[in-house]
Structure 1
Amino acid sequence: MAQDQNLENAEVLIARNNDTGQVGAVTGLNEDGTPKMTDVKSAKLSDLVKFTKGENPLEAFMSNFVRQCKNPSTFGFFRVPADRYDTVGTVIGDFAKDPAANAEMLKNNVVDIPQPTHEAQQKADIKAETSEVKPEQPEQFASNEKTPEQSATADNAQAPDKEVKHSAIDESKIDWASLKKKWGIDRDQLEKSGDLRELLYNRKSQVITVTPTFGGEKFPIDARISFRVDDNGNIKVVPHFIHREPKLDQEYKGYQFTKEDKAALRETGNLGKVVELTDPKTGEKVPSFVSIDRYTNEIVSVPQKSVYVKDTVGQAKLTMAEINELKTGKALPPKQITDKNGKTYTVVLQISADRKGVEFVPGAVRKQEQSQNQQTGQQQSSWLTKDGKIKPLGKWAGIPLTDKQKSDYAQGRVAELTNRLDEKGQPCTVYLWFNPEKQRPNTSLNDPRVKVAEESKVQKAVNNDGLTNEATSKVAEPLQKYQTAPKNEEQQRQQRKPKGPKM
């Protein structure tokens, strides 16, 4: 956060209520999430919320605004350089009174508002990933009960190994009173949720609500946190705010993501290979794993040498070949893992830079199965049961089927539906059967066994196919079942232009 005496890299916000037309400089957020505003011209710079250009607090502030405000689209925001607020602020404030007319002048000052639907989905995903295991979703595990992989990763943090040396953070050195005051972080809540153990072993918490101070005012913001020990041995909190999307187009520690890299990160959350990253302190090239924090969309990395892969995950043993495959960053094929309670799950294992160890890749089994089905053309049809049999039908096109019709269809035979209407609303015979090539039901006025039903042949050709014959070329009304010629003198007198080629 920028200070008043050093404003060159700081910005302030001007907001506009699109419903009322009110324009004001932002001094904070109200309890309902709407921006607190003061008159642009008379505002004191010291009262305004200030943000350092390009840093997370502005994005966090906007995300918090969207999360709390019932109608975020009601407001528009415009950024103004803090060191030129006295001159530029009043001009932007005047332009903001009619943003449509001054769109060209305001385009470089507009602040993008995060989409609430994305954040809502993100929270739903977070909740799903930390919810209790469901039989049909074995990739998801309860947050307060460690999975075999999580336990293995926690054990790795204490396990001696020539490749890696983990050291737990000394809790006695944490100033909990200071963290409570500055961030609103409560030790007992962290312990109850299981986050304390994660933090002490140099990993991140789940998404929690922190209350940092911006411009002298506290703001509740959703974020993950981690602990970092500085050069003096002091333990600091590092907040990981929620980003709208990972910044994959930007260079990351000297590495530029390729098209394939971006696809892998978006699909699995892991890069899937080891790449050389530049250490910002030493300038050295360090072979590293790269992942996306699925909760915050932050890009994270960990040196390859700092990840220890045990030969056991849950109760499943890994072969040397599987361990070596994991160390290259690749994912293993779906594998059955049994947890300490005896439950067995089919999972995909891969090293996560965010977890700093082996993880179960969420949804990977389902994605692989879908991909394989698409490649082999064997995707399960919704018209089939799990064991591949034809699902029975109770009705078709809203009309109940008779017992015989149900039986014929379910047995793969042709069901004859005699109580149907054609496209002109006339009674006709329709044939229903399951098409094994298309993996779905088919209907037609043609009996697939003997072509068109004799009594509907002319009716189908004229009413449905747009054809004509000499006998019916001047009949304006739709033909009926069995009809092959004008049915009375009135129809004979009607003049109708042929609809299509002759039969």
Structure 2
Amino acid sequence: MSTENTERQVEHDVLLVNDKTKNKIQAVKGLDKDGNLETVPATKKNQNQFLKVDKQADFFSNFFSNFFSQLKNPTQFTFFRVPELLTIKMANQMQKELNQSGPNHELFLKYSIQEIGTPVKTENKVSEHVEPSKENKVAEPAKEQEQYKANKFDIKDIDWDSLSRLGLSKEKLQEMDLLEPLLQGYKTKDLVAVNLDLGAAVFSLDARLSLEKMEDGKVVMALEGVKKYPNLNVPLYGHDFSKEDKHNLLKTGNMGRVVDLVHPTTKEKIPSVVSVDRLTNNLIVTRVEKMQLPQEIKGIVLSEDQLQTLKDGKPLLVEGMTSVKGNLFNAEIQYNAAKGHIEFLFDNTNKQSMAQNQTQSQLSDDLKTFRGKELTEKQQKDLQEGKPVYIKDLIDKRGNPYQGYVTYNKETKQADFSFKNPNKEEQAKAQSQSQTEKQADEPKKSKGRKM
């Protein structure tokens, strides 16, 4: 007969951390003797190194307070508390958000741990120092103010009477999970229906919402309505869009360079980058001095020259990055002012350009190797003479063998790859044309009547 274990099964949480200088989500391992944070990649093989903490609220609060007080450079890090069983899944999901579309407000806020002196949020988004009521899901005013006091905007400074006339009550924003991101200083991730009743007329529009503080300190709700196209035919803070500016903004959403924009009040010239908000088609501006650029992306540490290229607003081709599935890939990245972070440019034009650059770079300058395959002296000579060279046993990114023909242009010093022999195609065309001409020159047979 088996004996049942009556002891309490301790449930644990794991600390994840985002190093703001690297924009990389990792699992916390602990602190070294000097107070430096020790981390490990949040992978299955590192699970035994994860710092695990008792899930009980008071115990965790006391632990984290002590942990945080010993940490060196605490402002460099943002911590997240996740259940032990979800550690790897949540780390991958958070990293994906950081790399591609920026922090997911709901995901990051749901698991984030506030700085010391503020309540630690649970998955129910209420202070962990207060036991949530099952009957009443709406926090009491005092608790609600305590919950939001660490945000960029104070909930008490919002004119709720004015917003209610737009159909944007506090309760509605809470139900839509929009209030907390707004107070944190984010724009709403999706469009929100706004209704304005003027008595004699009623207006309705979809808009992105954000909170702004006016010069007199008053907090107002900014509404960004949807436009059919970005307005590029009128100056933006003193800047007239060039033909190239318009082309870039319509093609990639980013202008691709830094320009001096004139502040409407101070008349100060401010170096800035400009992008199109793809949700509303409004033009968004970010000062160069406020651009946040990652030091590392997808396993590649960016050099000073690469960071300067991004700071100049230009696209940057980064090679040898590692995807979430562990595959190597190349892609162009660029700072997007509307998103406030780096984005990947995955359009067809860029893919073709990248493929062309990749093909050209894979033939060595001395013509001795192509895509890692050594060429014979005869193949090198044929390339110099402009002849196609057949190469087999090439290996693609998936490890599969393939073969094809390489040609080399001595004037442009560029290589081209084809699965078919380009000379055979030209030869077939020539033969076809010769045959057609021959048939045209042959005299037609007489169809005279037989006598």
Normalised-by-shorter TM-score class: 0.3 to 0.5
| Structure (1/2) with the larger strand percentage | 2
TM-score, normalised to structure 2, is: 0.46
Larger radius of gyration: 1
TM-score, normalised to structure 1, is: 0.42
